[in-house]
Structure 1
Amino acid sequence: MTRPLRSAQFPAILLLAAAGLGLLLANLPTHDALAGVLDAHLAVPGTGLDLSVSHWVSDGVLAIFFFVVALELQYELTRGDLRSVRAAIQPAIAAAGGILVPIAIYLAIAGSSTGSGSSATGWPVPTATDIAFALGVLAVFGRGLPTAVRAFLLALAILDDIVGIVFIAVLFAHGLNVLLLVLGLVAVAVFAVLSRTLRQAQGPRGRRSRPVIVVLMVLVGVIAWGLFAASGVHATIAGVLLGLVMAPRPADRTRHALEPWVNGLVLPLFAFVAAFVVIPQVPLDALSPAFFGILIALPVGKIVGIAAFGALAMRIRPRGTAPAIRFPDLLAAGALGGIGFTVSLLLAKLAFADAGVRDEAILAVLLGSMIALVLSAVLVSWRARRHRAAGDPEEDLDEGAFEVGGEDEGEEGWDER
């Protein structure tokens, strides 16, 4: 039943469909009714948390996505392709280019604007890569790509995720309450201890205690999220920290269990809400510089930055590292990097105080990501055909979007094998 939601192709299609539906309904007579629902506030009594429905989605529901992303990051940083500096150095240099060049292009276009509607604050928006879409394009068009190329692309997308998370944590904290933040970190530490207790619960008595520990972990995780939300740090950072501190074996099992929910519900729901913007009825020259900055920086900045810095990384790579990635493959990687989507949409929602500029930035993310998606499909297909013709070794990418790094842990217990 959940197999399509664990594939790399279907979740990307579902995500794109949800965003398209949100954009469509925002520009039909349904707009006012749906806008009223999304703007309605829901408060948690006695907590001080009073958020609109759209903020509950972007701050609350999306935290589950960041939790699962952090579980994947933990795997890659401890047991996967990024477990050592030598393994990570090549994609790290390429990722740096895929961040610096889009920022430079964006600031060259939109960096001079000032005032309440300033576009200059949007420079983090074109730096993100959507890992789910990147894997979806690879699964559909990349059959024949060598394992080394796919591992490089995955590592690149994960490093981009790390940078996006850092931007959210550092740049978009507001009214910081240090006490609540410290209490949130304490809750994260308690979560880490409980996850290790869960891993050690073995035997008949341990099996009886596991449900209790799981319930406690869920409660502590929710408390940590609430404390982060109230502290002024963006609440999704709580999901990141909880995923990074979880014990490895329970983390693998949790990642497997949550994957269909993230792919089938969390990401489409966020994409729908984020894309619910009215298309401005203005001429092109009346659009904000942020629109053009993102529209160009995402597809162009990513492909130029990743390809150029990636080529440099291939020339200076130390001995004993993975084989060099050919320049045409780096171009394909750069095109994939331009599919910003999920994290870029969140950054666009956070970066702009002016609602009009924010909506234009969201439209630019959707359009820029679509341009990058089409370009990456063409380049990845071309490179896959060339590698198949050359007989290069390949690896199937039909596993789940978050299961690329290791074995499927869905049927395993909490204990070590």
Structure 2
Amino acid sequence: MSRTSRLLRSPQFPAILLLATAGLGLLLANLPTHDAIAGLLGAHLGVPGTALDLSVSHWVSDGVLAIFFFVVALELQYELTRGELNSVRVAIQPAIAAAGGILVPIALYLWIAGSDASSIGWPIPTATDIAFALGVLAVFGRGLPSAVRAFLLALAILDDIVGIVFIAVLFAHGLNLLLLGLGVLAVIVFAVLSRQLRGRATPVIAVLMVIVGLVAWGLFAASGVHATIAGVMLGLVMAPRAADPTRHALEPWVNGLVLPLFAFVAAFVVIPQVPLEELSPAFFAILVALPVGKLVGIGAFGALAQMIRPRGAPPAIRFPDVLAAGALGGIGFTVSLLLANLAFAGDAAVRDQAILAVLVGSVIALIVAAALVSWRAKVHRALGDAEDDEPADESDEEETYGHER
């Protein structure tokens, strides 16, 4: 495996790259370069013979990002069938904590935003960015017990599921049931083809799967459902034996190209030149609900989950570790940025403020999480229950890639 591939598969580097490209997008949006880049992102590219005619920025958020959701769905499939969420007994604790990490931020958002037009943004602070959360764990959490890592991973995955449901249900528009039905049919064909990947026919079937996947994406995009849902459905129905190597092959591309490109485009917003009191209620609601709501919600519900865990469930993790997981949950970023774009698509000024709030709120959560995770790792090392975090060598990684993110 090449050094570049190892770097893009590591937990630390993709998170740093994501933050850097978002910062670059925000910087260039507020320099004289704004007009030139905005013109490029606003240019429309159509597919001849179809109704698909999207701006460059929408090709990124609706098209390129579908690859990220495809890989997320492959991860979800693994965790739901063979991983941390493969039984109710194992999943109940992170599920309860995840519920708190969704309900409390929503309640906090609505309390601050009130009942005006800003209230539509309530899904924005519900998401957790897995890449960032695991990156912070990798950098600052050396020695944390595996139970804490498993708890966080399950928590973030459940958040992703909820975010995907929000995108599918809340942001569909002008639904065309015929095109949607054809899209579902294409997904079924994709599932059948993925189960034929064997022997000499593999290259031909792989090409057919790519074509069918693109057709499914186009049908979903034209049907009125957000096109990224096609990526989710394709990932969930793929044959497990094909899903693991596919995720392994796509992971460097998603970490090194897809997510940084989306982060740059999503963060390309002009910082509002207005007094604080003139900012939209959505800005303040997200800014508080993301870092504070997640910390309080996951902390409180996570503590409750530990107290009522069923007999035979995994050992309880300490309350300060739950708080650290709650702080990590406040790093919303990728899915939160997408939700901000969707929620306020009709109001560019509020949308830009919401995106800025996601960035600032996520950075606040990142700083708090880094401090808490560092403290907890130090405590566990002092207690002697720290675990060896040395990375596996290349042969180990190739052997176990299907079982780790």
Distance 2:129 2:278 in 1: 29
Taking a change above 3 Å as real, the CA distance of residues 399 and 354 of structure 1, as seen in their structure-2 partners, is: farther
Quote the residue 1:277 is aligned against. Answer: 269
Q: Structure 1 residue aligned with 2:111, among 108, 113, 123?
A: 108
Query: Any unmatched runs of 5+ in structure 1?
Result: 411-417
Is 1:55 aligned to residue 48 of structure 2?
no
Q: How does 1:10-159 map to 2 (within 5 A)?
A: 10-113=13-116, 118-159=117-158
Taking a change above 3 Å as real, the CA distance of residues 139 and 399 of structure 1, as seen in their structure-2 partners, is: farther
Is 1:296 aligned to residue 288 of structure 2?
yes
> TM-score when scaled to structure 2?
0.96
Asked if the contact 1:139/1:398 (under 8 Å) is kept, the reply is no
The 3-state SS of whatever aligns with 2:99 is helix
Asked if the contact 1:8/1:398 (under 8 Å) is kept, the reply is no
The 3-state SS of whatever aligns with 2:196 is helix
Letter in 2 for 1:286: E
Deviations along 1:134-178, whole A, 9 cap, x unmatched?
A: 000000001111011110011001000000000000000000000
RMSD: 1.5
Asked if the contact 2:377/2:386 (under 8 Å) is kept, the reply is no
> TM-score when scaled to structure 1?
0.93
Is 1:212 aligned to residue 212 of structure 2?
no
Asked if the contact 1:138/1:397 (under 8 Å) is kept, the reply is no
The 3-state SS of whatever aligns with 1:144 is coil
Tell me the CA shift for residue 47 of structure 1. Answer: 1.1
Tell me the CA shift for residue 398 of structure 1. Answer: 4.9
The 3-state SS of whatever aligns with 1:233 is coil
Q: Structure 2 residue aligned with 1:361, among 354, 361, 365?
A: 354
Deviations along 1:84-126, whole A, 9 cap, x unmatched?
A: 011100000000000000000000011321xxxx111000000
Asked if the contact 1:8/1:399 (under 8 Å) is kept, the reply is no
Distance 1:185 1:271 in 2: 29
Tell me the CA shift for residue 396 of structure 1. Answer: 2.7
The 3-state SS of whatever aligns with 1:394 is coil
Quote the residue 1:337 is aligned against. Answer: 329
Letter in 2 for 1:88: A
Taking a change above 3 Å as real, the CA distance of residues 151 and 397 of structure 1, as seen in their structure-2 partners, is: farther
Letter in 2 for 1:19: A
Quote the residue 1:414 is aligned against. Answer: none
Query: Any unmatched runs of 5+ in structure 2?
Result: none
Tell me the CA shift for residue 394 of structure 1. Answer: 2.0
Tell me the CA shift for residue 397 of structure 1. Answer: 7.8
Deviations along 1:235-265, whole A, 9 cap, x unmatched?
A: 0000000000000111000000000000000
Asked if the contact 1:71/1:255 (under 8 Å) is kept, the reply is yes
Taking a change above 3 Å as real, the CA distance of residues 328 and 386 of structure 1, as seen in their structure-2 partners, is: same
Is 1:308 aligned to residue 296 of structure 2?
no
Tell me the CA shift for residue 298 of structure 1. Answer: 0.3
Tell me the CA shift for residue 210 of structure 1. Answer: 0.7
Quote the residue 1:4 is aligned against. Answer: 7
Distance 2:375 2:350 in 1: 37
The 3-state SS of whatever aligns with 2:374 is helix
Asked if the contact 2:70/2:234 (under 8 Å) is kept, the reply is yes
Tell me the CA shift for residue 399 of structure 1. Answer: 7.5
The size of the alignment, in residue pairs, is: 396
Distance 1:235 1:313 in 2: 35
Quote the residue 1:407 is aligned against. Answer: 400
Distance 2:388 2:83 in 1: 16
Asked if the contact 1:339/1:369 (under 8 Å) is kept, the reply is yes
Tell me the CA shift for residue 391 of structure 1. Answer: 1.0
Distance 2:38 2:328 in 1: 32
Quote the residue 1:415 is aligned against. Answer: none
Deviations along 1:198-250, whole A, 9 cap, x unmatched?
A: 1xx2xxxx2x2110000000000000000000000000000000000000111
Distance 1:333 1:10 in 2: 20
Distance 1:236 1:9 in 2: 26
Q: Structure 1 residue aligned with 2:373, among 365, 369, 380?
A: 380
